[in-house]
Copies of this chain bind each other. A is one copy, B any other.
């Protein structure tokens, strides 16, 4: 079928994946392949005195055992701050730090060698609590860091800041705690690397940012970046956890010591849990003020996040958390204070939502608390304060792009689920209480003010008459790559069978930034439209000259597989046309750079590579209907409604899947998932102790798209990737508060925590 925008095209990868036929990185076995693995630290903070590798090296199955001394380059990695060693030099900063790298002939030999490596340490006390870490006498995680353990601090004032509370008639306060969250992708970290006889180092790896990886590997290992090629096959999830180097530098180092043989590294689940980044947990202190009509006047937030042992993108997450701190509301006077702190805990980093879900948990509960104080309907309070285009947001930035939060709230208010929620609550069975919870959310699209946010698309008409789309941005599984084909197909009027996809590969595709920041379809779609239109024009011109020299291009049309001259019906097949054209003629590129907002974080916020201030946001209004078991404290979500403004929808099915995936991941964050760490030691080492929602935990989910038109987006689209995960945690928390009359300030809302709150309330309720 010819491709149209708005069509729920079945994903090109759907059949492969559900049948288990898709090749992920870990499936790329090669003959003669070696295995690499890491010896990790088992303590969170120590001086590394020596590493004993001789016994391991002596094994017949061992190819190489490497330590920091064997790293030819800087031995440093980190997306914006190079504070993480590839292999530990003299200091261990967290459990899971890589101390030594082993290359072996097979998996058994690898394990044997790893077991034989030992190292001596001088254990240090370490810091594990962010507020403790900021005390004057605290152990310094990175003694060289000029801020001490304060990785990044950011203070921002809009309007009169907290002085405006003096004018408020109603002021409410609250303090909230959010946990770390594990990405828990289907596919753990994996890669395959080989140093070719031509000196080319090819790393095939599950990554969100192949072009950045190339530079990361080059710097860490002291190589020429042009000697390195990063390839990304299909990926089983990323969610931010594969944005940044995991296996990349280690594997490259292994390949340099493998005598030209391919080397595979696969982290098992436990290693993935130990070594990968987590969503930043922390504390959020809020003060919110309004006039007696409910108009929001003032907001003050103090947000403290635990960054763990390395910077990763923690400072950037903090800035996003602050930017989202006020929700999708008009608040003229704002005082924002954020700190993210080095500790000897596991490394925190980007996770779908990038700081916004943490803020939404606090802000949306504050809105309900304020509504209660003012005796107002929570929906009405939100509606009257909803941002509109032309308003200034809490950073003082004028919203110039489509702003549909008001429309989302109206749609939710009109929905039968909202209309019947009170009646549904009354029908709760014995020993159950029911509640409805709202959450209004926003999420920015794109990198923000400091990093050029661009994409470069490439399309080629192949000699076989097919169109090959060179994707510059990774598809972690969310479906942006199939959407690229849909865009190219619509612009070039081709069928799916006429289109081919080249996954990101620094050797073939063009740099377009990481798969992150809800930017993938927005930014690459725009670039792709330009590339497709350039190629379309070239093909019509060449087709016209081959057909009959009629130079009126409107007389020609590009069809699936051919160009037709409309007045005569004469056609030339694209296969034939391609035969007449050089490859350079058959290749078109398109470049798009996103407009940016001013950087309001100011130059003093040096720790952020991205700065603070976005110009483009998606919005949503969510509702959870929850039922709480008064005996066990268990919270069940019965139904969930998500109304989203992400601009135009290109593929409704993929859109809905993104929303559903975000809701489920958000419900896990809200109800179950708590990545527990005690004194730097991980308590939840695997899926037996770290509990994810399964299909049985998933409620009926209704997704409604409010399709505003975003003039800067492809076909009017914004981005949907991260928005939906921001809603469930606050919606569920508000639903539980509505059901029980007790508010739980700490996530996740486990049965134990809910039951404890109920018991405490019963104690208070007694005379």
Contacts and interface: CB of A to CB of B under 8 A. Distances in A.
B400 A557 contact: yes
B5 A557 contact: no
A543 to B, nearest CB: 14
Given A389-B493, A493-B389, A557-B390, A398 B4 contact: no
Interface string A691-719: 00000000000000011110000011000
A560 interface: yes
A402 B490 CA distance: 9
A559 interface: yes
A587 B313 CA distance: 50
Nearest to A404: B4
Contact of A407 (B7, B388, B559, B569): B7
A6 interface: yes
Contact of A6 (B4, B404, B559): B404
A559 B410 CA distance: 23
A386 to B, nearest CB: 8
A566 interface: yes
A2 B390 contact: yes
Contact of A402 (B4, B567, B598): B4
A282 interface: no
B490 A709 contact: yes
19 contacts: A1-B406, A2-B389, A2-B391, A4-B402, A4-B403, A5-B716, A6-B407, A6-B707, A7-B404, A8-B410, A390-B557, A398-B559, A398-B566, A400-B557, A490-B709, A648-B707, A648-B716, A649-B707, A707-B707
Given A389-B493, A390-B560, A715-B716, A5 B406 contact: no
Interface of A: 1-2, 4-8, 388-391, 396, 398, 400, 402-404, 406-407, 410, 490, 493, 554, 557, 559-560, 564, 566-567, 569, 595, 598, 648-649, 706-709, 715-716
A490 B388 CA distance: 12
A398 B566 CA distance: 7
Contacts of A406: 1
A203 B602 CA distance: 64
Given A490-B709, A559-B398, A1 B566 contact: no
A333 to B, nearest CB: 14
B398 A557 contact: yes
Given A6-B709, A649-B707, 9 more contacts: A2-B388, A2-B389, A2-B391, A2-B403, A4-B709, A6-B707, A7-B404, A7-B708, A715-B716
A407 B1 CA distance: 10
A6 B710 CA distance: 11
Contact of A708 (B4, B598, B706): B4
A664 to B, nearest CB: 23
A715 B566 CA distance: 27
Contacts of A400: 493, 557
A559 B390 contact: yes
Consensus secondary structure, chain A interface: loop
Of A5, A407, A706, chain B has the most CB atoms within 10 Å of the CB of A5
Contacts of A2: 388-391, 403
B559 A708 contact: no
A554 B404 CA distance: 22
A403 to B, nearest CB: 7
A222 to B, nearest CB: 42
A399 to B, nearest CB: 9
B5 A708 contact: yes
A595 B557 CA distance: 14
A141 B402 CA distance: 60
A560 B389 CA distance: 9
Nearest to A554: B595
A402 B707 contact: no
Q: Which of A388, A407, A557, A707 has most B Cβ within 10 Å?
A: A707
Given A6-B708, A398-B564, A707-B707, A1 B388 contact: yes
Nearest to A9: B407
Contact of A389 (B4, B566, B569): B4
A743 B335 CA distance: 74
Closest 6 A/B residue pairs (Cβ): A5-B709, A2-B388, A2-B389, A6-B707, A390-B559, A4-B708
A569 to B, nearest CB: 8
A493 B402 CA distance: 10
Contacts of A1: 388, 406
Contacts of A391: 2
Contacts of A648: 648, 707, 709, 716
Contacts of A7: 404, 407, 708
A388 B389 CA distance: 38
A709 B554 CA distance: 20
A391 B715 CA distance: 24
A598 B567 contact: yes
Q: Which of A388, A391, A554 has the most CB of B within 10 A?
A: A388
Contacts of A598: 566-567
A765 to B, nearest CB: 43
Contacts of A716: 5, 648, 715-716
A715 B404 CA distance: 16
Contacts of A557: 390, 398, 400
Contacts of A398: 557, 559, 564, 566
Nearest to A567: B598
B390 A6 contact: no
A715 B554 CA distance: 22
Contacts of A709: 4-6, 490, 648, 715
